[in-house]
Amino acid sequence: MTWGIVQIVTSGPYTKEENTMEGAPQRHGIFYGWVIVATACIIVGIGMGLMFSVGVFMEPLETTFGWGRGQIAQGILYSWVMFGAFSLMFGALSDRFGLQRLVLIGGLMFGAGMLGLSRMQTLW
């Protein structure tokens, strides 16, 4: 029987028993792809939680260091601009070098930035 370009074979040399995967190993437990998705969600949740939590620390930063809200907001603005600029760069590089290396490098850069922010005492 023919249907457009694709030909559907209703009978052939293969029997139903030959097409089954009786010898194939059966998977048990959770599909590994869901582990990857869950891990990615946790990592993104932590990263975005750190980036969006600045409002919670606005008043303690003002009282501890004597900085104004505008100065703190300006630092946050610079971090978001850099986040956007590096996103474009990493997007282009991911096509060339693959995601595994770039996710590792990006995670290390993000961690170094957060560590640097935790050690910051003065505005530049």
Q: Which residue has the tokens 């919670």?
A: 56
pLDDT in tens, 60-86: 989 988 888 998 888 888 888 988 888
**Structure pTM?**
0.54
pLDDT for res 24: 59
Token readout for 86 is: 């590096």
Amino acid at 82: M
Token readout for 78 is: 């610079």
